[in-house]
Structure 1
Amino acid sequence: MRRQWSAGSVLMREGEQSEHVVVIEAGRVKVASAAVSGKQALLAIRGPGDLLGEFSAIDGRARSATVTALSSVTATVLSGSAFRDLLIGDGKVAFTLLRIVVSRLREADVQRLEFGAYSVTERIARLLLDYARRYGERGDDGVIITLPLSQDELAHAAGASREAVSKALKRLRALDAVRTGRRRVELLRPDLLADIVEGLPSVHLDADMPNDPR
């Protein structure tokens, strides 16, 4: 079944008992989770071709994250039983799912490394470069990140406080590396950001980086 959601709509909610699976055809979503303290963590941005909700469809447990549309989203929705039947009956599909799970585990490992070993400025520079490569569009002066993310959401993604992220962005602006506005970031000097994060592993495959800001 094909469904559509408008920007700001919730596709799945953390803690709910449901097992349908969503395959995004168009649009972007953010995947976020909340700690017991209430602190939010932005886990990932997903887009066309990405699969959502597969864990609950497989193990029957409650949703582990909330998925919210960042833009208008069109997706195919499968029931949990239909998804399980597909995995059991088609080895290629099952192997593709395994590759997705492995990729996300690798991504999580890199994020844990960054949170423990690198400064907030380094983590923000890294996030901006990754977002620019995946979602960037050429502007007059640099690369505009097309994701409408707030400083709070950047802080959630970097595992830092909003105040620390604000200071990091101020430092990057002072270096003329970025220009920021309301839910808008433009990379003016991607080379400076790359110098900051030089040597860090990438959490995204090169095949998923169609736009090179350099």
Structure 2
Amino acid sequence: MDKPKAENKLIVKAVTVKTPTPKPVPKPAPPSDSIVQVLTGIRLLKGLKPDELKKIATHCRYRRFSAHDQIFDRNSSTSDVFFVVRGRVRIVNYSLSGREITLDDVTQGDHFGELSAIDGEPRSAGVRSMTDSLIVALPRADFLEAVGNYPAMALNIMKSMAKIIRISTERIMDLSTLGANNRVHADLLRQALACKGEGNEAKINPMPVHGEIAARVSTTRETVARVMNELARKNIIERKKDILVVRDIERLR
């Protein structure tokens, strides 16, 4: 009697194929012909004629930065001037101990980098993008040519430099004459006056960050927190979600 033939069994193993995660495609920068329209919103270029803006636009290029990207470092040899189209960047320096000192925040419509473009010296401070930012860069040679050719732009530069000197003078006086608590008061007062509405009240939006105030006035976060809590107890300020309401501006003076 013949033995039954062994059945051939087909064994199929399941194989999991991993599909690679697609890399995010970066958003393209706006087309170059839109730079002219963008430049009309830059305060440094107010008063320039359309044909003058168009000539400047031919030398500009878009640059995109993510939050926390370093745009340039202190002592960098770069010399472009930058116009902020969208986002916010921070101008910073560092003490010998490494503590960060905030010099200014630059937002949509403002500019930075003009000092090195004017005198050809290395960067006097570093600049970091605080949010995703779209920026227009203008090379130094083209910036200087525009300043020389367009009186309105030259006047705007002088006004901008005067503002920097005034702010620096105020800060030097604060550091020389005020204690840490009063420097926090002075910083809040400057912010409140910048967004003051009708009456004696102001809404600071977004809510000031303790660490950022501390970096501006050369103190600690703990000191800022203590001063803010004291002002809240006195009903001078009130926290409302992402907004700081200054109830009585005069009491901050």
Specify the TM-score bucket, using the shorter chain as the normaliser.
Answer: 0.7 to 0.9
User: CA contact under 8 A between 2:236 and 2:251: conserved in structure 1?
Assistant: no
User: CA contact under 8 A between 1:19 and 1:53: conserved in structure 2?
Assistant: yes
Aligned residue in 2 for 1:196:
252
Kindly, what percent of the aligned residue pairs are identical? 21
2:244 is aligned with 1:187: yes
Structure showing greater Rg: 2
Stretch of structure 1 that moved more, 75-84 or 121-130: 121-130
Q: How does 1:65-214 map to 2 (within 5 A)?
A: 65-132=125-192, 134=194, 143-146=203-206, 150-178=209-237, 186-191=243-248, 193-197=249-253
Aligned residue in 1 for 2:98:
38
**Matches of 2:168 and 2:233, distance apart in 1:** 31
Aligned residue in 1 for 2:44:
none
Q: Which amino acid aligns with 1:49?
A: G
Deviation at residue 136 of structure 1 after TM alignment: 8.7
User: CA contact under 8 A between 1:177 and 1:187: conserved in structure 2?
Assistant: no
Stretch of structure 1 that moved more, 119-128 or 30-39: 119-128
Structure 1 residues 194 and 122, CA gap change in structure 2 (3 angstroms): farther
Structure 1, unpaired ranges of 5+ = 198-214
TM-score by length of 1: 0.76
User: CA contact under 8 A between 2:102 and 2:216: conserved in structure 1?
Assistant: yes
CA RMSD of aligned residues (A): 2.6
User: CA contact under 8 A between 1:178 and 1:186: conserved in structure 2?
Assistant: no
Q: Which amino acid aligns with 1:42?
A: T
Q: Which amino acid aligns with 2:148?
A: I
Stretch of structure 1 that moved more, 15-24 or 162-171: 162-171
Structure 1 residues 179 and 196, CA gap change in structure 2 (3 angstroms): closer
Structure 1 residues 94 and 15, CA gap change in structure 2 (3 angstroms): same
User: CA contact under 8 A between 2:79 and 2:113: conserved in structure 1?
Assistant: yes
Structure 1 residues 108 and 144, CA gap change in structure 2 (3 angstroms): closer
Deviation at residue 189 of structure 1 after TM alignment: 4.0
Deviation at residue 81 of structure 1 after TM alignment: 1.3
Aligned residue in 2 for 1:24:
84
Deviation at residue 48 of structure 1 after TM alignment: 2.1
Structure 2, unpaired ranges of 5+ = 1-60
Q: How many residues align?
A: 189
